[in-house]
Amino acid sequence: MERVRSLPLTDPGTPPLTGPVAYLAWQARRQWGILTVGALLGVLMFSCQAALPYVTGHAIDSGLAHGFGADLWRSAAMLLGLGVVSATAGAVGHRYDVENWLRASFAASQLVGRRVSHSGHTITAELPTGEVVSAVANDALRIGEIYHTSARFIGSIVAYGIAAFVMLRTSVSLGLIVLLGLPTVAVCIAALVKPLQRRQAAQREASGRLTTLGSDTVSGLRILRGIGGEGVFTARYREQSQLVRRKGEDVAVTQSWLDALQVLLPGAFVVVLIWYGAHLAVAGEITPGQLVQAYGFAAFLSWPVQQMTYTVQSATRAHVGASKVLNVLRVVPATGARPGTRPMPPAHVPLVDEVSGTVVTPGRVSALVCVDPDASAAVATRMARFDDAAEADTPVRLGGELLAELDKLAVRERVVLAEATPQLFSGTLASELDVHGTRDAERLLHAITLADAHDVLDSVPDGLDGELPEKGRSLSGGQRQRVALARALLLDPEILLLVEPTSAVDAHTEARIAARLAEARRGRATLVVTASPLVLDHVDEVQLLVDGRVVATGTHAGLLARTDAHGAAYRRVVGRDLDEMTPPHGVARVGDDDPIAEEAFDELLQDEPAGARDRTGGRP
Amino acid sequence: MKLPIADSATVRAYTAYLLRAHLRPLSAIAVLHTCAAVLGLAGPWLLGRLVDAVADGTTTGYVNALVAVGAGAVLGQTVLTRFAQRSSMRFGEMVFADLREEFIETVTSLPLSTVERAGTGDLVARTTNDVNKLQNAVRFGVPRVIVAVVTITLTVVACLVLSPLVAVAMFVGVPVMLVIVRWYLRRATPAYLRESASYATLNGTITESVEGARTIDALRMGARRQARVEADLREAFEAETATLNLRTVLFPGVDFAFITAPVAVLLWGGWLVSQGHVTIGVVATIVLYTYQVSGPVWDLIFWLDEIQVAATSLARIVGVRLVEPDREVREGTPVDEDLRARGLRYAYREGHDVLHGVDLDLRAGERLAVVGPSGAGKSTLGRMLAGIHPPTGGTVTVGGVPLVDLPLDELRGHVALVTQEHHVFVGTVADNLRLAAPGASQEELRRALEAVDAWGWVCALPEALETEIGSGGAPLTPAQAQQVALARLVLLDPHTLVLDEATSLLDPRAARHLERSLNGVLEGRTVVAIAHRLHTAHDADRVAVVDGGRITEIGPHDELVAAGGDYAALWRSWQHESA
């Protein structure tokens, strides 16, 4: 049996981004070999199937004319032979169809995967997450579909040709009835599909709302069970569920008419055919076997006709799918779209944000404090270069060189930004901590100690080898933050920028982390954006940012003790004298996942992708 | 804690129960489909009669009469199909609606402790994914299986009626087919589940990559994420190859079994014709029937396969029904509003106590702050005090009655748990508030919102109280959402509140505003505040330090500071640094 070439390919190639048709043609060229084999097998299978009614009719005639004898045996053997060849060609052809489908759709998924992995945040800025995920979950599969159906499409055309030839030779009028009647029936039925689709869409919409209601109710279940209101919600769900049911019944009405017409139209067609054929047979113009042939062809040909309409639909879907995939592939990263133009400065040089005057000095742990935590976070972010166009007016220099003119990956290697809303990824705890896979277990445990994250080891079964679920969802907000901190510390970069690294942890833990953090970063350059006194007390130097400028620099104790306006400003940020109830520091949106949006989204992905589960192999 | 999944015996029993409950409509549908299928057999039969008639020499009148019968059969089949399809689809809609409604009802009456511990992720997945996966099988699968079974049976019966002698030949391929289909179905479910799981993983990876795009960029994780996508694709490929291999056996095997039928019928029938036992027309009819039956057989195989896969979703839906209630309502009326814990123990896993015998007396109207390191058992203690979890050992009583003996409605009137989790339900602002008090008047809603300082922005909404909020409605900030949650509490009006870090995940400006709202709620109630931040502790009447599942220190802030224990040390460092 043919072995399917292993996927994904090492190189998915570079597709043209000009348009969907160019993209689809490019993909076809990349797999023209298997497309050709698939098409040949399709032709073979359909030809065998087309020959079956012919041979059957012949067998009946020979049985009538010569009784049980060599002629009948020959026909039977031919029938069996055709069946075996058709079954084999069908099975091998199905393998090629699936390979064609997988090759094309996996290539698209792979290209999207690569783009997403290297685009940075531009992808999120330019496209909604749902659309990007849907490019892989749906659109890539739809692209594959057209390569999957192509073989059967070609086979169908050939089969139709064969049937036409045989029928027209038998009787021109009978042949014309079969060949023109069937497409007419197909067109009539297709015309009736529109109203059905409208009602189906109405039901889908109602059903989507029902799913939202269901997941809304369940997402808020803790609240419902805590304070009541379950009755109201189940009643509401029931009401919508009954609405969906009624819409479903509307669909059933239209659908059942369509089903009935699918009986009536081909049935009427066959009745006319038999009536006309029987008269020809009575008149002796055709044999009884040929009458059976005509009936057999009429039954058989509805299959290729279906295949052809199906192919037209898949072509439309592939076109739409390709344009959606192209939307993702066209995203250009906001940073480092062009290669660096200046050489990297030597190691251990300061990183300076010119507009604010913030300086990250080699060998020091600094803190950046601002009354507006967003403003200080923004400074730290641009010091790590995240948007070349937007940061053009706020130059940042590493050892005198403009950051924007350096090679991006080289910058990322030396300057690492750990943001306030860090993202964890699914995978083993060890591999998620050590993202470049270069540290040993001892270093991992050391980093975990630094981030005071030993409780994470206990809460993940199997410790370091334990699996974190998607986005580290099983961990609490505070645990996620500490894992992210350990991950950043493990990178051990020359310059580390930490934004609110301890905003979601309790005071006990924060105090311990702060003490260890300063120790761990000794000798390297570090900037911590924070307003927590527990952290500030352990840094070498604090820079106070007011209205976008660093106005004062000193130790935590020194700034607290200052009697001028800057001292007062500093105390206002870090002290308790402004408002007793204010948590002493910054933005922490660690746990702000919107469960509804997320689940509705997950649900979207669960929609069966078209063509993904074609188990019948396109059989009638 | 994981929610249960029903075993196959339970799923079978549940399915049998569903079928029994709907026996009447089910039989009606079967009868309609049977009649339609009988008429559907007319074509080949007529053709056989015509072949015989033509062979024997006949008149056009006879041909016309036969064809007229055929036309009548087509019309009849059309009408019957219309009604059979309509009623079976309606039936599918009804059963599926019942099933999902019953499921939601079961879910919303799950025990408090299960909801708290299992989290909502799994439940949401069951409500959306599993219910949706089941719908194809119930709405389309069941009717199609009925049609297929009826059609196959009738076709076989028709052949046997026409000529049992000829018909025996059509079964020659059946043993092969049974062996192959059985072989396939046994392997298909895990293989297709693996396939859909592999795509779910791939989609999850892409989602993570998109949402974590900044982190990936910042930590140079691009190559690694790309490798992950490719590994997921490889797994999807292997899963696809595995199902493809199954089909590579199924397709030719079944196709081959099909072709043996007409061949055997032709040969055997040809011999019988030569012996004068049957007419050639009968043989032709049965040959055509053997072709015609392949469609419904493929349909049946396909749907059996789908239904098998759907059964795994059904197992997860039925599984929710297996959760045992966590409490039993007993007699007893609280004599006062004092909350008291005695010898409180709790273990999430047997033998691993998180709380080791906690005693605590809350005085009516006091504010108790609970502080301590992560994992010390603060939140667990909070949940015990709110009556969410029945304790493993010891009791929590209100006015002398154990909390877990109270009916849920009454428990809610005594004590409520407020967490950082907030959820805005789809519906109007008023809908969201009335959860706590279904009969509350507009005036009461207004007062509740005023108490939490939220009346202002609610009035500014396009339709004030009647504005749609929640997913798809007017967006609320996290602070506003939290205020709605607090207003609910005002309406619920319990005498004791347990706050589990209710404001810790908000940004400082929002939190400041919210603390004011919170004060409006706390007014006049007993409050247990589990806190990250020491300022909360400073302002409380008493502070309890929880460490290692025990209350290690308890007393007013000043006394604890004076006592010089852990709390004092922590307080001093904090004080020193910010003073």
CATH number for position A540: 3.40.50.300
Provide the token pair at B329. Answer: 């309502």
Chain A residues closer than 8 Å to B535 by CB? 576, 580-584
Residues A396 and A497: their CA atoms lie apart, in Å, by 14
**Pair (B448, B385) in one structural domain:** yes
**Residue in A246, A234, A229, A237 with CA at minimum distance from that of residue A209:** A237
Please enumerate, as own/partner, the contacts of A70-75 that have beta carbons within 8 Å and a separation of 24 or more: A72/B266, A72/B267, A72/B270, A73/B267, A75/B266
CATH number for position B127: 1.20.1560.10
Residue B303 lies in a domain: no
**Pair (A158, A27) in one structural domain:** yes
What pLDDT is stored for residue B532 in this prediction? Answer: 66
Chain A residues closer than 8 Å to B266 by CB? 56, 59-60, 63, 72, 75-76, 79
Residue B36 lies in a domain: yes
3-state secondary structure of B551: strand
3-state secondary structure of A553: strand
Between strands A396-398 and A365-370, the pairing is unpaired
Residue A343 lies in a domain: no
**B107 part of contact set with chain A, CB < 8 Å:** yes
**Pair (B201, B169) in one structural domain:** yes
3-state secondary structure of A358: strand
Contact status, residue A465 vs residue A480, Cβ threshold 8 Å: no
pLDDT at A434 over 70: yes
Greater confidence (B360 vs B505) lies with B360
Direct distance between the N- and C-terminal alpha carbons of chain B, in angstroms, rounded to an integer: 44
What pLDDT is stored for residue B68 in this prediction? Answer: 94
A89-to-A49, A94, B248 alpha-carbon distances in Å: 11, 8, 11
**Pair (A399, A321) in one structural domain:** no
What pLDDT is stored for residue A610 in this prediction? Answer: 36
For tokens 């630094």, the residue is A450
**Pair (B20, B146) in one structural domain:** yes
Residues A417 and A527: their CA atoms lie apart, in Å, by 9
Which ranges in A67-171 belong to alpha helices (H)?
A: 70-118, 122-126, 129-134, 140-170
Contact status, residue B340 vs residue B24, Cβ threshold 8 Å: no
What pLDDT is stored for residue A94 in this prediction? Answer: 94
**Pair (A60, A92) in one structural domain:** yes
Residues A523 and A540: their CA atoms lie apart, in Å, by 11
Asked whether the beta carbons of residue B66 and residue A278 sit closer than 8 angstroms, the reply is: yes
**Pair (B563, B438) in one structural domain:** yes
Direct distance between the N- and C-terminal alpha carbons of chain A, in angstroms, rounded to an integer: 24
Residues A153 and A305: their CA atoms lie apart, in Å, by 9
DSSP state of B168: G
3-state secondary structure of B23: helix
What pLDDT is stored for residue B183 in this prediction? Answer: 96
Count of domains for chain A: 2
What pLDDT is stored for residue B349 in this prediction? Answer: 72
B194 HSE (CA, 13 A, CB side): 17
To which H or E segment does residue B82 belong?
A: helix B60-108
For tokens 């730290």, the residue is A380
**Pair (A328, A357) in one structural domain:** no
- Which residues constitute the domain of residue B409? 339-578
**Residue in B366, B360, B408, B401 with CA at minimum distance from that of residue B382:** B360
Its ipTM equals: 0.86
Residues A220 and A236: their CA atoms lie apart, in Å, by 14
- Could you say which of B244, B298, B507 has the minimum Cβ distance to residue A98? B244
B432-to-A240, B15, B468, B510 alpha-carbon distances in Å: 18, 37, 10, 21
Residue A329 lies in a domain: yes
B523-530: average pLDDT: 87
Q: Which residues contact B335 (CB under 8 A, 6 or more apart)?
A: B399, B400
Which ranges in B163-293 belong to alpha helices (H)?
A: 164-167, 174-211, 213-218, 222-274, 280-292
**Pair (A477, A374) in one structural domain:** yes
**Pair (A472, A533) in one structural domain:** yes
Residue A178 lies in a domain: no
Nearest-neighbour CA in chain B from A505: distance (Å): 7
3-state secondary structure of B78: helix
Residue B334 lies in a domain: no
**B404 part of contact set with chain A, CB < 8 Å:** no
**Pair (A413, A535) in one structural domain:** yes
pLDDT at A98 over 90: yes
Cis peptide before A373 (omega within 30 of 0): no
Q: Using DSSP, how many helices (H) and how many strands (E) does chain A show?
A: 21, 12
Nearest-neighbour CA in chain B from A601: distance (Å): 10
- Could you say which of A68, A220, A295 has the minimum Cβ distance to residue B47? A295
Range B494-532 burial, b when 16+ CB lie within 10 A, else e:
bbbbbbbbbbbbbbbebbbbbbebbebbbeebbbbbbbb
Lowest mean pLDDT among A167-176, B441-450, B511-520: B511-520
Residues B259 and B242: their CA atoms lie apart, in Å, by 26
| Cβ-based neighbour number of residue A451 at 10 Å | 30
To which H or E segment does residue A417 belong?
A: strand A415-418
pLDDT digits (tens, 9 = 90+) for B123-142: 888 888 788 888 888 888 88
Residue A481 lies in a domain: yes
**B197 part of contact set with chain A, CB < 8 Å:** no
Contact status, residue A115 vs residue A123, Cβ threshold 8 Å: yes
Residue A4 lies in a domain: no
DSSP state of B139: I
Greater confidence (B183 vs B116) lies with B183
3-state secondary structure of B554: strand
* Residue B397 bridge partners (DSSP): B340, B402
**Pair (B158, B196) in one structural domain:** no
Residue A261 lies in a domain: no
Residues B449 and B18: their CA atoms lie apart, in Å, by 46
A490-517: average pLDDT: 87
**B64 part of contact set with chain A, CB < 8 Å:** yes
Residue B295 lies in a domain: no
DSSP state of B3: P
% of chain A beyond a pLDDT of 90? 40
Residue B297 lies in a domain: no
A481 HSE (CA, 13 A, CB side): 25
Chain B residues closer than 8 Å to A556 by CB? 577
Query: What confidence tier does A575 reach under pLDDT thresholds 50, 70, 90?
Result: low
Nearest-5° angle of CA A490, CA A494, CA A495?
Answer: 95
Chain B residues closer than 8 Å to A282 by CB? 54, 58-60, 63
Residues B162 and B286: their CA atoms lie apart, in Å, by 8
- Could you say which of A218, A581, A584 has the minimum Cβ distance to residue B578? A584
Greater confidence (A218 vs A145) lies with A145
**Pair (A425, A307) in one structural domain:** no
Contact status, residue A334 vs residue A490, Cβ threshold 8 Å: no
Query: What confidence tier does A394 reach under pLDDT thresholds 50, 70, 90?
Result: very high
| Cβ-based neighbour number of residue A186 at 10 Å | 18
**Pair (B137, B185) in one structural domain:** no
**Residue in A499, A501, A497, A545 with CA at minimum distance from that of residue A525:** A497
What pLDDT is stored for residue A87 in this prediction? Answer: 95
pTM assigned to the model: 0.81
**Pair (A312, A400) in one structural domain:** no
**Pair (B434, B463) in one structural domain:** yes
Nearest-neighbour CA in chain B from A266: distance (Å): 9
Contact status, residue A229 vs residue B423, Cβ threshold 8 Å: no
**Pair (B422, B376) in one structural domain:** yes
Residues B280 and B271: their CA atoms lie apart, in Å, by 10
| Cβ-based neighbour number of residue B301 at 10 Å | 22
Name the packing angle between helices A140-170 and A288-329 (round to 10°).
160
**Pair (B6, B129) in one structural domain:** yes
**Pair (A128, A65) in one structural domain:** yes
Residue A209 lies in a domain: no
**Pair (B214, B120) in one structural domain:** no
Residues A347 and A342: their CA atoms lie apart, in Å, by 15
Count of domains for chain B: 3
What pLDDT is stored for residue B575 in this prediction? Answer: 61
Contact status, residue B424 vs residue A224, Cβ threshold 8 Å: no
Contact status, residue A569 vs residue A544, Cβ threshold 8 Å: yes
The one-letter code for the residue type at B493 is D
**Pair (A26, A158) in one structural domain:** yes
Between strands A467-468 and A427-428, the pairing is antiparallel
Residues 323-362 of B with CB under 8 A from A: none
From the number of C-beta atoms within 10 Å of its C-beta (0-12, 13-18, 19+), residue B409 rates as exposed
Contact status, residue A323 vs residue A131, Cβ threshold 8 Å: no
Domain end marker among B256, B277, B298: B277
What pLDDT is stored for residue A170 in this prediction? Answer: 83
**Pair (B564, B419) in one structural domain:** yes
pLDDT at A453 over 50: yes
How far is it between the farthest Cα atoms of chain A? 121
Would you say the C-alpha torsion A77, A83, A88, A93 has a positive or negative sign? positive
- Could you say which of B86, B104, B267 has the minimum Cβ distance to residue A252? B86
Domain end marker among B258, B277, B296: B277
Nearest-neighbour CA in chain B from A409: distance (Å): 7
The one-letter code for the residue type at A578 is L
Residue B284 lies in a domain: no
Residues B119 and B228: their CA atoms lie apart, in Å, by 28
Q: How many whole angstroms from its chain centre is CA A457?
A: 31
Residues 218-257 of B with CB under 8 A from A: 218-226, 228-230, 233-234, 236-237, 240-241, 243-244, 247-248, 251-252, 255-256
pLDDT at A250 over 80: yes
Contact status, residue B150 vs residue B34, Cβ threshold 8 Å: yes
**Pair (B139, B169) in one structural domain:** no
Query: What confidence tier does A412 reach under pLDDT thresholds 50, 70, 90?
Result: very high
Residue A608 lies in a domain: no
What pLDDT is stored for residue A605 in this prediction? Answer: 37
Q: Which residues contact A22 (CB under 8 A, 6 or more apart)?
A: A16
Asked whether the beta carbons of residue A599 and residue B128 sit closer than 8 angstroms, the reply is: yes
| Mean confidence (pLDDT) of chain A | 85
DSSP state of A523: T
Q: What are the percentages of helix, strand and coil residues in chain B, rounded to 5?
A: 70, 10, 20
**Pair (A324, A406) in one structural domain:** no
- Which residues constitute the domain of residue A524? 351-601
To which H or E segment does residue B498 belong?
A: strand B496-500
Residues A543 and A552: their CA atoms lie apart, in Å, by 6
Residue B333 lies in a domain: no
For tokens 């719908």, the residue is B135
DSSP state of B565: S
What pLDDT is stored for residue A613 in this prediction? Answer: 38
Contact status, residue A504 vs residue A591, Cβ threshold 8 Å: yes
pLDDT at A253 over 70: yes
